[in-house]
Amino acid sequence: MSLLDKLQSTKNRFQELESQLSAPEILSNPKKLREVNEEYSDLKEVIDIAKRYEKVLADLNGAKETLKESTDEQMRELAQTEIETLEARLPSLERELLYSLISPDPMDKKNTIVEIRAGAGGDEASLFAAELMRMYMLYAEQQGWKTELISSNRNEIGGFKEIILTIKGHNVYSRLKYESGVHRVQRVPETEKQGRVHTSTVTVAILPEAEEIDVQIKPEDLNIEATTAGGHGGQSVNTTYSAIRITHIPTGIMASCQEERSQKQNKERALSIIRARVFAFEQEKAHKERVEARKGQIGTGDRSEKIRTYNFPQDRITDHRINENFHNITAFMNGGLDELFAALKEAEVAEQLDQ
């Protein structure tokens, strides 16, 4: 299907939805009305982009016609200037329209659970895990998203062995989904006296937050244990059984939370992690063929896959899935991720078009 065919199909569907929004059988069904409204809102964004694109095309054709037919030199100069301006705008508009017409990942609108774990490299890995958490939180703040810590395991030097947080907002998963995998850092640790560069790794998992309607978990499939919350080195920080550990028996997936003083709140947070992990497990299982087909520029997003290297001495970040280098690590670590995410999105779209 060509771009114009896809656009026409989208316009036809948009008109159908517009009619449905005033239909009595839709208005009397809250669930159906919500579904129609959501699809209508999504397609309206596409239609708005299409209108801007079509206006530029029409203006461009008009300017070319003026240049061709006018004998007035001043009019011809104005037409030529307009042609150059409009032709410069077309590529970005075409790309924006193309992106909007490609079927989105159904998970894109979901909030996310971000899991960050120190890998190889000991203390240096735990410190970099803390820096990655800060990077994602700063990016979230720039986007107007809300972050909330679910669980953490901090060590004595201020690093983290594990951090789990939720990030909520508009289309969070659509941006952060590219971050799943192994992040490798190369730099001279502060404790290194001879100036040698060390290599450490941190794993990141980005899970779409699952609601109860997304995944069915039976109460009898859960083993829920209450324990006392622990501090550094397993030291108890309180004597009440507020910490919660939950095991999903069929898969063996576990989650624990001790951040809150209330057992109920810890249980709710641990359940949200379990839902997301079981949902991701089932999605991975159900879409194994699709995942295999997508192995390429973007990769699978698997946690065991090395996706990026942060080389501090050379001020260079390399994303191995698209084989591109970026500079200015300081800006990057302060949440400046838009350029990278745009490059990853472009590669993903190009791969979808090839398929």
Q: Any idea what the CATH number is for the domain that residue 260 is in?
A: 3.30.160.20
State pLDDT tens for residues 260-282.
Answer: 767 778 888 888 888 888 887 87
In this predicted structure, what is the pLDDT of residue 140?
Answer: 95
Specify if 107 maps to a domain: no
| 248 shares a domain with 315 | no
State pLDDT tens for residues 87-100.
Answer: 999 988 888 888 77
198 half-sphere exposure, CB direction, 13 A CA radius: 18
Task: Provide the domain count of the chain.
Answer: 3
| 199 shares a domain with 304 | yes
| 29 shares a domain with 82 | yes
In this predicted structure, what is the pLDDT of residue 94?
Answer: 84
| 325 shares a domain with 196 | yes
Specify if 291 maps to a domain: no
| 80 shares a domain with 149 | no
Specify if 290 maps to a domain: no
22 phi and psi angles, rounded to 5 deg: -110, 5
Specify if 85 maps to a domain: yes
Specify if 106 maps to a domain: no
| 176 shares a domain with 50 | no
| 88 shares a domain with 8 | yes
| 97 shares a domain with 13 | yes
**Poorest-confidence range of 93-107, 118-132, 139-153?**
93-107
Specify if 214 maps to a domain: no
| 95 shares a domain with 33 | yes
Specify if 264 maps to a domain: yes
Specify if 146 maps to a domain: yes
Q: Confidence band (pLDDT; 50, 70, 90) for 230?
A: low
> What mean pLDDT do residues 28-38 have?
87
> Distance (Å, rounded) from C-alpha 80 to C-alpha 239?
78
| 314 shares a domain with 205 | yes
Cα 142 → chain centroid: 14
b/e burial code for range 28-47 (CB count within 10 A of at least 16 → b): eeeeebeebeeebeebeebb
Which of 285, 309, 339 corresponds to the end of one domain? 285
| 193 shares a domain with 332 | yes
Instruction: Say what percent of the chain tops pLDDT 70.
Output: 86
Which of 232, 255, 285 corresponds to the end of one domain? 285
What residue numbers bound the domain in which 339 lies? 112-209+296-354
| CATH assignment at residue 178 | 3.30.70.1660
> Distance (Å, rounded) from C-alpha 43 to C-alpha 91?
21
In this predicted structure, what is the pLDDT of residue 201?
Answer: 92
| 156 shares a domain with 305 | yes
pLDDT at residue 301 tops 80: no
Which of 264, 285, 306 corresponds to the end of one domain? 285
